[in-house]
Structure 1
């Protein structure tokens, strides 16, 4: 297993750690775990591209790790009363749809679309909202709605790229 994939797998391990910290009133440390997960996401992609270690496993696991971490954060924020159920349901609908679609396409032998600038920007806005929410800075809920809207636009871009990529091969 290469370093980028190990970094990706570390994010799966961070999920229960985050949840344990958050639900035991260690929100700031839990936020640091979320930010560390975001850093490993940046690092694994950078290392994989830089060293030519991009694998189909990494292409599949990387977004899954990101989506599961984000869903964990959303569940925590809803239970903690930080975001409305409607935001959480909308985010969960989109994230679960992306996970299921990617799995179906992968197991049918279809090529998946790697992350692009739109997905990275959307992720950045989600992280910005999370920081605002965890630190109780005004505007966090509004930023999360902006990120949700961006995520649906990004999903449309991915779908078009996916169709193009699999039509060409």
Structure 2
């Protein structure tokens, strides 16, 4: 349980509320710093887990949980400050709620979580870039003419891919539940 990758994931989870408070206070530069630290530890936990064969079930649950919580914290913080539209938050959270329900259905059929699909990873990648780019525009206003449209392009593409991946997971869950 206390492998280096898991400790890094716990650190990322502990940084989520710090990140949210900084965003809500409008301390975008500090929030970006916390996000960079989180991103580096996210990268390192994956590399270390694979390199030193420290992949654990706990780590497989913590890593995506930390990713989702950072995305959620950024969405909530930016929407609360009226930087992002609330419908974007609803679209992304709605997909996660749908997958939570799918997970419960799968568990009731005796099947664990579905493996991560590459489309879901690309969607998360888009959102991981979108939100910091939008934050950069507010931390450093001189970048806004480029950062805002690029950030929103990544955000919209990420939300679209997020739902597309959700459809793939839903189809796979239906297939698996019929087999059991």
Q: TM-score, normalised by structure 2?
A: 0.79
Q: 1:53-132 to 2 correspondence within 5 Å? A: 53-102=54-103, 105=106, 109-132=110-133
- 2:139 matches 1:138: no
Q: Secondary structure at the match of 2:148?
A: coil
Which residue matches 1:51? Answer: 52
Deviations 1:26-47 (A, max 9, x none): 1111022123222222222222
- The whole-number CA distance in structure 1 between the counterparts of 2:8 and 2:17 is 16
2:48 aligned with 1:41:
no
3-state SS of paired residue (2:50):
helix
Which of structures 1 and 2 has the bigger CA Rg? Answer: 2
Unmatched 5+ stretches in structure 2: 138-146
Which shifted more, 80-89 or 96-105?
Answer: 96-105
- The within-5 A match list for 1:9-24 is 9-24=10-25
**8 Å Cα contact 1:14-1:33 kept in structure 2:** yes
In the alignment, the residues of structure 2 paired with residue 166 and residue 5 of structure 1 have an alpha-carbon distance, to the nearest angstrom, of 31
How far off is 1:160 after superposition?
4.8
With 105-114 and 152-161 compared, the bigger mean Cα shift is at: 105-114
Return closer, same or farther for 1:160/1:104 CA change in 2, 3 Å cut-off: closer
The CA distance in 2 between the partners of 1:104 and 1:22, in whole Å, is: 35
Q: TM-score, normalised by structure 1?
A: 0.83
Partners of 2:83 and 2:90 lie apart in 1 by 14
Would you say how many aligned residue pairs link Structure 1 and Structure 2?
Answer: 169
Q: Which residue of 2 aligns with 1:151?
A: 162
Q: Distance in 2 between matches of 1:14 and 1:60?
A: 17
Q: 1:61 to 1:107 in 2, by over 3 A?
A: farther
SS at match of 2:122: helix
Alignment-derived partner of residue 141 in structure 2: none
SS at match of 1:13: helix
Unaligned runs of 5+ in 1: none
